[in-house]
Structure 1
């Protein structure tokens, strides 16, 4: 019996000890969880160079340094190619404007002319034009989740307890900012600054032509000529029609074309010019012949004083001879001008 009683006491003691340990374990606060690792900082990637910048970099590797000049258009620098005339008494400066997607030394038209005309008494300055901006699609804003109808009605009827109405009877969120107050950014609590508008493509091209003219004038030439190929012909005509610099005496266009997105027609631009204008096109394309006829008819209706068209037949399979033919036509037209 004593042995049984001792066994009960031992069992009771063990039970009490186990219960106490269980209660203490339950009362202990849980161990703090490890803080989540900070998210890695986003990697900022440098913007990709534009096509015109890539082509200019290629020319820097291929051509002598003496041919490059750095010009400033607005707040941006750009590269142009300069070749002095190979005669003692230069006739003037020809500023060449390539077409869309073409470089300042394009192998058809621009490149052969900028290298060949110096042998016939002309300085040449060939530009690179800015790329057409790529439109950025704007995502439609997502509709915020609407609260249930019953909750929305209740919220509308009952004002928040911690936001008493003002003396005028309006809740704080209903009061509008005064017109003189600048909008406050939610994250920074600082007034937001308006974005600075960037010049569009037409303004950038006008700035580059103006920079090229300033460089040409520094050479004190006897004459300045604008020569545009493809869409470069349109931009040259547009610049002359809007600004009409008195020291630019001639305009030459090679296979001119109106750029996409421009409402003012090339035929109207050319017809309203009052300076000597040469229009060289190729007869192998029906669309080119039709566009050339439209420009010719517009010039006649406006009694253009000195508009001349030259139609060329392309020499298929012999590009070198074709470029020599173009050079002869351009040189012949220039020699006939007063």
Structure 2
């Protein structure tokens, strides 16, 4: 018992000292709160660039026997990025420039890469160029729904002079001030350059490079998907200055409705137009939308476009290698028929017309 009493006394003393120390800490002045960072000091969100990421990957994975081009287009901070292949048959047929779909790129394995490499083995210099992503369409202005027709559940409980709960704005205030999803940037008043101007510069740069390097004078502009619309735009723009033909693969219009459609562009093109598609006969017959092949065929017949040639390719299968081989055969076949052989026959006709009748071979 004598031993327990001193121990209890020491514990009571230690508890009292700890309680006093806790009270001193609680009465001490609280630490100064750190001021919040200003908006300028906070890091702004940087959205990744799809074009830069794609180009970096394409540069790292340039195919064999393919030359990576980075050409100045004449505009500051703009370059043409392309995969260039020389012909491998010894017989020069001309140059081919490939415009990819906006959802793909110049080395897309499903069709672009196969066409670029395959056609270069049959006398064609090929240049598949990278098309930058078009500017995003502006978000339409969105306003809050009209609240003037809404009536409160119990109008007798509300007074005209009473303030809205929680200082909320009235219905009249809401409807009078429309809100938009994104604020307008008043600092940039200069209008953006139309996307087609970028396409024109890239196409002219590609043509000039192939003309100066290989001394080519015959070109085919191949457009795949939405690239077919831009290819048609380019051919229509420069058909008087350059020797151009147009070849479209599964053509479709871009999402921007302000651009001219293929139905407007194609009748203005005087050179050869080849339209290849994978649509089935039934879907082509019943589908009369703008992107439907049957609509383009009816348009060509209506305008008596003798330069327009349309061909249906075999249906797509799960075997992408077989699809690519079919695509290459169809493209080669139509080019041989409507470009090479047709122009040879045209030259022969012109040559025979220049020969006097008394000097022509017998039977002519």
Could you say which TM-score interval applies, normalised by the shorter chain?
0.5 to 0.7
Q: Structure 2 residue aligned with 1:275, among 253, 271, 276?
A: 271
* Aligned twin of 1:300: 301
The RMSD of aligned alpha carbons is 2.8
Structure 1 consecutive aligned stretches of length 4 or more whose deviation exceeds 6 Å = 138-141
CA contact (8 A) 1:216 1:224 kept: no
Q: CA offsets per residue over residues 246-280 of structure 1, 9 Å max, x none?
A: 32331100010011223522123212211011100
How far the C-alpha of 1:136 sits from its partner, in A, is 5.3
**For residues 328 and 240 of structure 1, do their structure 2 counterparts lie closer, same or farther at Cα, with a shift above 3 Å needed?**
same
Greater relative contact order structure (CA < 8 Å, 6+ sep): 1
CA distance in structure 2 between the aligned counterparts of 1:285 and 1:210, rounded to whole angstroms = 37
Runs (5+) with no aligned partner, structure 2: 1-31, 144-185, 344-364
Partner SS state of residue 107, structure 2: coil
TM-score (norm 2): 0.63
* Aligned twin of 1:121: 123
How far the C-alpha of 1:206 sits from its partner, in A, is 2.1
* Aligned twin of 1:261: 256
TM-score (norm 1): 0.67
How far the C-alpha of 1:45 sits from its partner, in A, is 5.2
CA distance in structure 2 between the aligned counterparts of 1:236 and 1:98, rounded to whole angstroms = 9
How far the C-alpha of 1:140 sits from its partner, in A, is 8.7
* Aligned twin of 1:49: 49
Alignment of 1:66-85 (within 5 A): 67-73=67-73, 74-75=75-76, 76-85=78-87
CA distance in structure 2 between the aligned counterparts of 1:194 and 1:49, rounded to whole angstroms = 20
Q: Which has the larger radius of gyration?
A: 1
Runs (5+) with no aligned partner, structure 1: 1-33, 142-191
How far the C-alpha of 1:288 sits from its partner, in A, is 5.4
CA distance in structure 2 between the aligned counterparts of 1:123 and 1:309, rounded to whole angstroms = 24
**For residues 135 and 299 of structure 1, do their structure 2 counterparts lie closer, same or farther at Cα, with a shift above 3 Å needed?**
closer
* Aligned twin of 2:223: 228
CA contact (8 A) 1:258 1:265 kept: yes
* Aligned twin of 1:131: 133
**For residues 268 and 195 of structure 1, do their structure 2 counterparts lie closer, same or farther at Cα, with a shift above 3 Å needed?**
closer
CA distance in structure 1 between the aligned counterparts of 2:269 and 2:237, rounded to whole angstroms = 10
CA contact (8 A) 2:80 2:205 kept: no
